[in-house]
Amino acid sequence: MEKKYILAIDQGTTSTRAIIFDQKLQPLATAQEEFAQHFPQSGWVEHDPEDLWLTTVAMCQQACERENVDPVHIAAIGITNQRETTIVWNRHTGRAIYNAIVWQDRRTADYCRFLKEAGHEPEVTRKTGLLLDPYFSATKLNWILENVDGARAAADAGDLLFGTVDSYLIWRLTNGASHVTDATNAARTMMYNISEGCWDDELLALFDIPKKMLPQVRDSSGDFGVTRPDLFSGFKIPILGVAGDQQAATVGQACFEPGMVKSTYGTGCFALMNTGNKLVFSNNKLLTTIAYQINGEPVFALEGSIFVAGAVVQWLRDGLKMIQHASETKALAEAASDTEQVYFVPAFTGLGAPYWNADCRGAIFGLTRNTGPAEIAKAALESVAFQTRDLIEAMREDWGGSGQAVLRIDGGMVANDWAMQALADQLGSPVDRPTITETTAAGAAYLAGLAAGLCPKPADFAQQWVLEKRFEPRQSCEHTDTLYVGWQRAVARLLHDPKI
């Protein structure tokens, strides 16, 4: 029986998608469903793990039905996921003992501050490439063990398992047969030594986490187990590719050469620069991470993370009720007054790179009586361009090499031409949008297809990347620099008084 399809699961922060790809990685059918976000306290963000699981199964089945794909023809499954989000479940029942603590969650800020003041951050950064921040999984896992009744004793007894979302889904898909993750997700936990390629015993002791809870770490392209037969009409489908969402997008954008940069615009914004087999540690509070790992060989990257990008548009829609659809922001921005300069710093859950301030909260500066929805929408879109410039300038300084001048972009927000033009203007360099903008799912599908023998090696795959539109800078450097200085002043005010 011919195996000619690849099923990609893209489990994101606000929705779950399943996409059927053909052998040339052309998307044939997509199913997507949003799920509830839970905010128990200020700065806390949670998901119900059952929502993640149920939407995953439902979307996989819907995608197959829409293209009338018989599961017997699916060669492999690739999984990409929201990173750092932390789930703990009972190995015997499969039930999570607490909601998933989402990557955006800031509840462990005080704990991270305590560890910093105790002098632990240099060691953490040297081993993991990360900063001591609530963003990552280790302190979230510690919080669950310390605050959920019976969790510590159950973990010590070996009854509990930890995983990022990929591990949790694989465990459920394989009916508990596989407790695994890949190197890219492991590298985001703050417990994995990226230079030695293993869980670090000293870090586990620091965060007081039993090693027996942790999944086995594997290559991004390889064997992660097979699905239980009842999910796909009695057929077992191998899971052959796994990568965290930003690393999967790096693969999907074919950023295989050192110096290449991609930026993904979803809920947040994440820019990665391939640094090859070289570990580059940042002087600008960027992260050092694993871009992908194939045949046991890790490829490293510098990463800058923005917590709020597309989420600021979602807030205009759901919070302010200012728009009904995200696409409306383009027309609003075009209609905004040229005499108004409003700055919107969307620090809803703190500021990410290069600031890393967990205490900051969002603010809008420059309001006048003439400010209306158009000016606020424009400021929201411009905030994404300003934050990206923060990242790219820091990245180029750290890299010090001949980094690619062109930025490759992807994610749902890149459909907004106004926002992408503003991005090119601020960067002063071209911005390239590919024909397939959902490169996160494509990257996961490629990793699975590579292991299944359906997809070519990376160098050949890179030749298949196709440009849809290039955005060239239109505004003068003098004008964009003036706008950027205003942005820096707005951020400085928040940093001076995070509770402003």
Q: Is 8 helix (H, G, I), strand (E, B) or coil?
A: strand
Q: State which H helix or E strand residue 132 sits in.
A: none
- The per-residue pLDDT for 402 is 54
- The per-residue pLDDT for 433 is 93
| Reported confidence tier of residue 360, pLDDT bands at 50, 70, 90 | confident
Distance of CA 279 to the CA centre of its chain: 20
Could you give the CA distance from residue 181 to residue 216 in angstroms, rounded to a whole number? 6
- The per-residue pLDDT for 236 is 93
| Reported confidence tier of residue 72, pLDDT bands at 50, 70, 90 | confident
Q: Which residues pair with 18 in a beta bridge?
A: 9, 31
- The per-residue pLDDT for 444 is 96
Residues in the chain: 500
Tell me how far CA of residue 202 lies from CA of 94, 127, 188, 210, 326, in angstroms.
Answer: 29, 10, 17, 11, 46
Residue 88 sits at φ, ψ, to 5 deg, of: -125, 130
Evaluate if residue 106 carries a pLDDT over 70: yes
- The per-residue pLDDT for 404 is 54
The reply to whether the predicted model has a pTM over 0.75 is yes
CATH topology of domain 5-245: Nucleotidyltransferase; domain 5 (3.30.420)
Q: Rounded mean pLDDT of 316-327?
A: 88
Evaluate if residue 499 carries a pLDDT over 80: no
Q: What is the mean pLDDT of the chain?
A: 92
Evaluate if residue 500 carries a pLDDT over 60: no
Could you give the CA distance from residue 100 to residue 112 in angstroms, rounded to a whole number? 19
| Reported confidence tier of residue 497, pLDDT bands at 50, 70, 90 | low
- How is the beta sheet containing 407-410 ordered, strand by strand? 287-294, 297-306, 269-276, 261-265, 407-410, 431-434, 467-471
Could you give the CA distance from residue 275 to residue 400 in angstroms, rounded to a whole number? 11
Report residue 316 as tokens: 């205009």
Q: Rounded mean pLDDT of 312-332?
A: 88
Could you give the CA distance from residue 385 to residue 392 in angstroms, rounded to a whole number? 10
Could you give the CA distance from residue 471 to residue 435 in angstroms, rounded to a whole number? 14
Residue 26 sits at φ, ψ, to 5 deg, of: -95, 130
Which residues does 474 contact at the CB level (< 8 Å), separation at least 6?
Answer: 421, 424, 425
- The per-residue pLDDT for 289 is 95
Report residue 472 as tokens: 């060239």
Report residue 189 as tokens: 């936990």
- The per-residue pLDDT for 35 is 93
Distance of CA 141 to the CA centre of its chain: 19
- The per-residue pLDDT for 119 is 96
Q: Which residues pair with 433 in a beta bridge?
A: 469
Q: State which H helix or E strand residue 20 sits in.
A: strand 15-21
Nearest CA-CA partner of 167 in 137, 195, 205: 137
Q: Which amino acid is at 390?
A: D
Q: Which residue has the tokens 């060989």?
A: 297
Residue 16 sits at φ, ψ, to 5 deg, of: -120, 135
Report residue 88 as tokens: 């703990």
Of 53-67, 387-401, 440-454, which range is least confident? 387-401
Q: Rounded mean pLDDT of 237-262?
A: 93
Tell me which of 7 and 71 has the higher pLDDT: 7
Tens digit of each residue's pLDDT (9 = 90 or more) over 18-38: 999 998 888 899 999 999 999
Evaluate if residue 249 carries a pLDDT over 80: yes
| Reported confidence tier of residue 328, pLDDT bands at 50, 70, 90 | confident
Q: Is 51 helix (H, G, I), strand (E, B) or coil?
A: helix
Cis peptide before 430 (omega within 30 of 0): no
Tens digit of each residue's pLDDT (9 = 90 or more) over 377-432: 999 999 999 999 999 888 888 887 655 577 899 888 899 999 999 999 999 989 99
What does DSSP say about strands 74-81 and 87-90: parallel, antiparallel, or unpaired? unpaired
Q: Rounded mean pLDDT of 299-328?
A: 88
- The per-residue pLDDT for 358 is 75
Distance of CA 452 to the CA centre of its chain: 25
